Structure 1
Amino acid sequence: MKEGLGENSYASNSLLARKVISMSKPLIEEAITELYKNMVPKTVCIADLGCSAGPNTLFAASEVVRIVGKLCQELEHQAALDFQIYLNDLPGNDFNSLFRVFLPRFQSELRQEMGPGFGQCFVYGAPGSFYGRLFPAKSLHFVHSSSSLMWLSKVPEGAEMNKDNIYMARTSPRSVIDAYYEQFRRDLSTFLRYRAEEVVGGGRMVLSMFGRKSEEASSEEGCYAWELLAMAIKEMVNEGLIKENKLHTFHIPQYSPSPAEVATEVVKEGSFALNTVEAKEIMWAECSNNSSYSDKAYYMAKCMRSVAEPLLVEQFGEVVIDELFEKYRRILSSRMYHEDDNKSVIVVVSMTRRD
């Protein structure tokens, strides 16, 4: 993600991501309610994986604290309850802004809402890839991850055959699409295996990721936003502003799965019981609270820039980025004007660690 607090940073362009987290709130509430009633832990240990840095980072954790606080009142539990909250992302994440700017706000709001006698929230950074071990064995009660698990651990081998496409597309060779799926399958299995070591028996996970409803991996549901970005890059290639070989060697390390693909891997890996897996839709227009197509396209382009800019700068250089996203904004504005169903699909899954 684009770090910092500037105009183009993820922290300043994360409204869509917040709405994605909100879509999983019913499953979070169900999971935490069942977990607390079954275990009644003195300290609730929570991990948010792929947390990034911004106003959304502690959103899910704050929901967990509020849910448990309400349960304590309903069950008339008098003892103060503590929370250990682990915030994980890659080491390059902007942890400085996270702990300097957003953590104090989280702590202040919780103190006001929950009162001084409720307990303490101890918050820690946990840098590292969630495709490896991050926490001690059997130390976590609840794991949350939003808008992260569609990111692969690496670009799939064989993606170099994709040429003009920066991601899976209708014109991609079948071998490329299969390579993306195999990489996703291996990565999700690895993720589940390591979380199985870290989560207590009966512990819960709620995960949400950009995906698709269709069983065709190259369908527009999961690929369209990247396809439009590829159009903007190709325009700059045609204008001589980006070298063609730079386009041909650029591949997005992401896979947007279907609910069935996620469910299949959870069942196959076997450490977690699958409770719920569902697909929800979110309109691109929800990047902005404004009404005009131009404004909506502007904020969608800024949202994509906050996510993709570090990858694009590494491949194409910083000098082309402003013009690239201006072209992308114009393409988005045209598509959003002529197509009234521009949306993404969110796959949400809830599971329980087997005893």
Structure 2
Amino acid sequence: MLPQSLAIADLGCSSGPNTFFMVSEVTRTVKKLCRDLNQQSLECQVFLNDLPGSGFNNIFRSLGSFKDKLSREMVSGVGPCFLSGIPGSFYGRLFPSKSLHFVHSSCSLMWLSQVPEGMENNKGNIYMASTSPSNVLKACYQQFQRDLPLFLQCRAKEVVEGGCMVLTFLGRRSDDPFSNECCLIWELMATALNGSASTGIIKQEEVDSFNIPQYTPSPSEVEQEIVKEGSFKTHRVEVSAVNWNAYDDRNIIGSEFSESEVLSDGGYNVAKCMRAVAEPLLISHFGDGIIEESFQEVPRDLNRSYVQREN
């Protein structure tokens, strides 16, 4: 395809420095393709999407400096780049029919549209855990089986013929849904929250009613849903491990790491990652009064928990 303008959507774009990374990468690729094909530069229309209640709106404060930087980098080979914000859930329609050429979503689709129903008996846990009743896993997986096809159906109506998507999930290599790859971190968070409840910082009933609306799928589970829904074909599947610490080859997300690997030198890195992901959910459920004190205790809680289990 050689359209005069390219329509690109980043779904679940968040609001941090990585938000503009995809835009930069795509415009660089467009520039190279135009040069290789001896074509005139293309205009790019980039749609940034996230939930309006998130920090999504903060990205527009930094648009000016980003566009200046982009203009300096892209002296030629790419036309103007127009950025727009599209607030809303990607589990529904967001764009007109056949209007998008490229859709990107990174570390967003493991978040479910809602907390699965029927998890009221998951007491003491905040996610699927080894001590969770069997219905908890079933509820999370069934919600994932409803949500991903709905996402695909919506995008099938919005993406032009021949358009494509790149989707990145936080997931697991293993077919075991209780694998450490996806469950250990939330079990450790539950330990910290239960510790806060035992000291009266929060109420135990609040912990028992708190569940993370997430399902971290295996590659085969993602591919099964894509095949069943039928609108898209999978061209390439990759599994990557992500370090907790960029300066340390240990503590890798996406591999079968042990508790000792997570809790030793990486305790504070684990706490930072957990806070970055979970803080908005925790504030919404428990209020912001517990955040600083709880996350100061998280590394020590994690190490104490590991020592107790070893003994």
Aligned counterpart, 1:221: 181
Distance in 1 of aligned mates of 2:148 and 2:282: 25
- Alignment RMSD: 2.3
- Alpha-carbon contact 1:211-1:258 (below 8 Å) kept: yes
Distance in 2 of aligned mates of 1:163 and 1:296: 28
Which residue identity does 1:85 align to in structure 2? Answer: V
Q: What secondary structure sits across from 2:234 in the alignment?
A: strand
Q: Does 1:59 align with 2:21?
A: yes
Which residue identity does 1:50 align to in structure 2? Answer: G
Query: C-alpha offsets along residues 188-244 of structure 1, whole Å, 9 cap, x if unaligned?
Result: 010000000000111110000111111111111111111111010111112122211
Query: C-alpha offsets along residues 76-112 of structure 1, whole Å, 9 cap, x if unaligned?
Result: 11x23100000000011334421112x2232122211
Query: C-alpha offsets along residues 319-348 of structure 1, whole Å, 9 cap, x if unaligned?
Result: 2111211222224567999xxxxxxxxxxx
Q: TM-score, normalised by structure 1?
A: 0.78
The verdict on how the C-alpha distance between 1:208 and 1:334 changes in structure 2, with shifts beyond 3 A counting, is farther
Aligned counterpart, 1:326: 296
- Alpha-carbon contact 2:119-2:139 (below 8 Å) kept: yes
* 1:105-116 mapped onto 2 (5 Å cutoff): 105-115=65-75
Aligned counterpart for 1:88 among listed residues 49, 54, 62: 49
The verdict on how the C-alpha distance between 1:118 and 1:83 changes in structure 2, with shifts beyond 3 A counting, is same
What's the % identity of the aligned pairs? 54
Aligned counterpart for 1:197 among listed residues 157, 167, 171: 157
Q: CA deviation at 1:116?
A: 5.5
* 1:244-255 mapped onto 2 (5 Å cutoff): 244-255=204-215
Q: What secondary structure sits across from 1:286 in the alignment?
A: coil
Q: Does 1:310 align with 2:271?
A: no
* Number of residue pairs the alignment of both structures matches: 296
* 1:1-355 mapped onto 2 (5 Å cutoff): 39-77=1-39, 79-101=40-62, 103-115=63-75, 118-286=78-246, 296-332=266-302
Q: TM-score, normalised by structure 2?
A: 0.89
Distance in 2 of aligned mates of 1:119 and 1:283: 36
Distance in 1 of aligned mates of 2:247 and 2:94: 32
Aligned counterpart, 2:259: none
Distance in 2 of aligned mates of 1:325 and 1:207: 31
- Alpha-carbon contact 2:141-2:215 (below 8 Å) kept: yes
Which residue identity does 2:195 align to in structure 1? Answer: E
Query: C-alpha offsets along residues 115-169 of structure 1, whole Å, 9 cap, x if unaligned?
Result: 1673100100000000000000000000000010000000001111211110001
- Alpha-carbon contact 1:82-1:120 (below 8 Å) kept: yes
Which stretch of structure 1 is more off in the superposition, 234-243 or 147-156? 234-243
- Alpha-carbon contact 2:34-2:41 (below 8 Å) kept: no
Unaligned segments of structure 1, at least 5 residues: 1-38, 338-355
Distance in 2 of aligned mates of 1:335 and 1:105: 45
